[in-house]
Structure formats: structure tokens, C-alpha cells
Chain A
């Protein structure tokens, strides 16, 4: 059964064009781009071409593009590489709703003695810019790492303003643009971040390839020591097939972006409005006015997300949840909690994230089945029928 795949913020399928572009580099063109022979040297040209395509995608210079193994590596590289350079007195400022790839290194730095600040968000998941200004007020050397768009809710942070505030205070600004890339135009000349992370597999390239954008003139302590690859900023033989695939994937993303933003938003809105209309006690989590066009995060109150996902999965429908049960951690999503979502809705959040490969018929299938699933679980639930049982304590 072909899955009905609404989990594109988790990962995406590899575009057929990307797969085709990669294939020759697994077989005939296997040379090392650093080699001093034509067989390897010709491969270097393809790597360079991909670098140029990525640079064009971001309106950057090819020398500012570093290929990494994933978005997480790019995030680690930015935060550790900068904090180490700025010294033990420096500050790291992030938000409570970041991806673990950013929160992890920030918390490590905190344990190492750096001051680490996790900025709060409001109930719509929006960042408090005044809190950012306050955090930067004392003029301590700082790195600010704030995501461009949130993976769970799709909420878009006002990156232009964030960069302005950070630069005014003389801070280094990094953004995790893993979810934004391919869904929103990114122009590093218009929004002059110092560093930016992108992951290939979120935009129809394979898993295992990432981009790190490093503005020319921005200093960074090298993280992966080794050979001279990536101009000495990231050692390790280039992952040629995936780099070539990523070059193709960003071209496709750029070509489809305008159309996709319209069609995905329309499908997403149909899905979202349909679910809100047919499932009582459902609420959207996140700032609906400033959101990725492909993402909706809906809480179905009084029921639990993992149970919803398993019923959807029985129908071949893929989505994700912020419920504690789905992670094995016992704690529900840190993003949902940071937004202060009411406790009746915390465990029942379901995220649907679309891509250009989704169809209206697939949206209709979800709309057809979801009300029944919600009803079934509500019938099972002791809560939410107006006859709340005596709660202990």
C-alpha cells in the first residue's frame, strides 16, 4: 500500500530527479574529488557545481557554502564553533522551542560554564523580541541561535528583525533553517544571518547531507578536523553523490517554491479547516498568520496522540504527535509545553506536514476517517463529555 504521507517535516521522499542525478556517482564516477587525476578531478567539478547551485538558492557566494552530514552537524558546528571562539565568558541565546540539535549544544555549553538563555515564546509560539533585546543588553559577546521556522508548529520567527537586534548588539547570529529551506525564500543578503543550517532530507534530497552557510568574514573554530576539504573548515572526503543530489534538490525547490506555497497552503487549509469543522474540541497550535504553508499542528482534546497515530497508521496515513507516549520520554513535546497549551490538549497534538507530492484526494481521505477515529477514542476516554469524573487530590 502506498502510504499517505503527511509527515514531511520529519523527512521527505527523494525526488526522482534527485535520484537520477545521483546515480552515476555511485557507479562510474566514484573518484575522489581531491585526486590529481582526471578521473577524480572531473568529480570535483560536479561538487563545485552543486555548491554554486546551493549558493544561488541562498543568494550567497559559493565560498560561503560548507557541506556537512546533516542539519544537526551544522547546528553543532555553529554553536560550539562560535562559543569556543568567543571564550568561556560568552553567552549563548536560544529559544525554548528550538530543535534538540540546537538545545543540546546550548545545554552542553551551559554545563561548561557559559551563560545560556532560552527565550520564552507566547501562546502562539512567537518569540518575544523584547526578551531578546534584554538578553543582549549587557554587551557580553554572544551567539544567538534561533530557528527560522519551527518543525512542530511551522511558526515562522521574524528573522529579519531578529538579525537586526542581534547585529545591533554585536552578537553572532545563527539560524536553524532546516524547516524553512525550500518552503520560504531565503536570501542571506536581504536577511544577513552569519550562519545558517539546512538539512537535505527535508527538501527531497537524501538523509545524510546538510548545508552550513558561513558568511564571509565570520570566524569559526573548526569542529571536524582533518583534510583540506571545504577549504579546511570541515574535514572528511566529500559525500559526492549526496552533494550532487542536494544541488539538484535545491534547484527543484527554487523552481517549485512559488507554486508550492500556494498549492500547499490551500491543501493544508482544507485539511485544517475540515478537521476543525468535523472534530469538536480541536484547536490549532501555533501562530496561524505566520506559519509555513505546509504545516498544521492540531490538538484533539481529551485524547492522546499516539493512539490517534496508530489508528491513522492502520489506514496507511503518516503523521506525527507531540504526545509523551510517542517518544518514550513521559514528557510531552517541549514546544507544546513552552507555548502553554492547556493540559487538556497537550497530549493530543497531531502534526500533518505536506509536500508537493501530496494530493487533494489524500487530504480527503484524512478528512473522511479522522472524525471517526477521534470519536472512537473520545468514547473510550473518561474525560471531555461534560461529566468530568472526580479527579483525585
Chain B
């Protein structure tokens, strides 16, 4: 059983500000059913441009519910500028601390607040964009998100990063990459991500290329997907466009787009041709 503080248990048992708002000024949703927790946060501003009303809905464990509830109490009465300065650490502190393995609940709260503010400012419904390099494909966590929890919370180990944002908590393939991010964040805050080493250019015939793609899928890609109960089918290869279809658990997985781009495409670019694009059948 987790050693939750009394305040966590209080917010879990009696969550504040549950529900929805008619015509909100900002709405943010993070997480998913497949990942095990999700939070929708919405707010409405008062005439003084301060957050007058805030509501949440959370799917998740006791500490996820408590973190969401605590966050709503923290933002009421704040301006947008004040609210966006709230860190995950402040959410955890407000609750009298969270167990190490549950810190990601506080990060989810901060992310939902950010998404809601982003929505208020731009009208867009998502702040995650596919340009951001996804490091952990199991939970769809980007390099920037990892860098942020590392610097904001002074993290030094991969396990800590997993506790804070789930990255590395699935298949574990990205643990080395996370360590590199920790190192670079510590060395210099300004260090920019290393571009992946380009595969040596060599001319392949079409037949050779097709064979190589099949081989890489069998050797590098399929075993990883099967570990999660998923699978992949190679549908077609046209020039540098590889069409695939997800099967099993991968079909319908929230992270499938990340898996396609940041895992499958990256592998094929690394081993076959740097110009390959992978597209989904549907």
C-alpha cells in the first residue's frame, strides 16, 4: 500500500471542483485510457482576467485524482501568467508530498494546466506536436518533456525520470537515451539534442532494399512490438514510402503514431535509407 499523506487521501476521498464548465475559456487533456491515467482540466476567467472557475475530470489512481483536485485549488484566483508558473513540484508539495513512483501524477497535472492555457491562447487542442522527438514510445514522452522534469526537479537517475513522467517505464529500450538527456541537461542547460548519426549512404537495388526492410522489421521492430502484445504487417514499399499496418495491441494504441514515426521510421532510416517515410495503411 502506498504511503499517501493525509492531504492526498483527503483530496482523493473528497475531490474538489469535479466536472465540466459550460463554455470554458481553456480546456486541456493529457494522458489516455491505455496509459492508465488521463486528466481533463478546464477553466473560465472572471472579468478581472483571473481564473474564476476551474473543473477537472480524472481517470486514474488515488494520487492522480488528488493531484488534479489539488491543482484546481491552487489555480483559482490566479492570472494566466501566475498559473503557468506552477511546477509539478509545487503540486506535490501542496499535497504534503507524493510517493516517488507517483510523482508523474503531479507532472500530469502541470501538463494539463499547460495544455488548457495553450488552448486558451491559441484555440489549439494539443500542445504535443510530432516535431518534438519522442524518446519513450511506450508512453509517448518527448525529449523536451524529459528535459523539463529533469531540470525542474533536479533529477539525476533514469529511475527518477520514470517516476516523474513514466518515460522508460515500459519496455525500457529508451533508458540509455534518457541517461544521455540527464547528462546533457546537467552538463549544459543549452545543450541541443544530438542529431542521430546518419546511416552510411549506399546504393541499394529495389530488391535489395525490400529485402533489407523486411529483415529490419523482423529483426529490430517486430520483437519489440510483440513484447507489448502487438504486431506489424508490411503492406507495400513504393520508392522510399513504406506502408505498414499495426496489428494486435498496437492497433488502436494511443502511441501508435509515435511508434510509427519515432521507432519504426527511425529504425528503417538508421538501417536502410535516411529518406524513408513510414505511413500507416489507414
Contact = CB atoms under 8 A, between A and B. Distances in A.
Interface of A: 302-304, 306-307, 310-311, 313-314, 323-326, 328-332, 337-338, 340, 343-344, 346-347, 379-383, 389-393
B39 A382 contact: yes
A347 B228 CA distance: 15
Contacts of B70: none
A392 B62 contact: no
Interface residues of B, number: 46
Interface in B243-257: 248-249, 252-254, 256-257
Given A304-B60, A307-B62, A392 B170 contact: no
Given A313-B1, A325-B102, 12 more contacts: A304-B64, A307-B12, A307-B61, A307-B62, A310-B12, A310-B62, A331-B170, A380-B57, A381-B57, A382-B59, A390-B125, A393-B128
A291 B102 CA distance: 34
Nearest to A393: B257
Nearest 8 pairs of A and B residues by beta carbon: A325-B61, A330-B169, A382-B57, A306-B61, A328-B101, A343-B34, A382-B40, A381-B59
Contacts of B9: 310
B169 A329 contact: yes
A307 to B, nearest CB: 5
A304 B170 contact: no
A325 B36 contact: yes
B15 interface: yes
Interface of A, secondary structure class, is: loop
A125 B37 CA distance: 25
Contacts of A382: 29, 38-40, 57-59
23 contacts: A302-B33, A304-B59, A310-B12, A323-B36, A325-B63, A330-B169, A331-B169, A337-B229, A337-B249, A338-B229, A340-B248, A346-B36, A380-B18, A380-B57, A381-B57, A382-B38, A382-B39, A382-B40, A382-B58, A391-B29, A392-B125, A392-B128, A393-B257
A314 B13 CA distance: 9
Interface string B31-65: 01110111110000000000000000111111111
B126 interface: yes
B128 A323 contact: no
A192 to B, nearest CB: 34
B65 A380 contact: yes
A310 B102 CA distance: 15
A6 to B, nearest CB: 16
Contacts of B38: 382-383
A381 B252 CA distance: 20
A379 B229 contact: no
A304 B108 CA distance: 16
A127 B129 CA distance: 42
B162 interface: yes
Choose among A325, A329, A346 the residue with the greatest number of B CB atoms under 10 Å from its CB.
A325
Given A382-B40, A383-B38, A392 B32 contact: yes
B69 to A, nearest CB: 9
Contacts of A392: 29-30, 32, 125-126, 128, 254
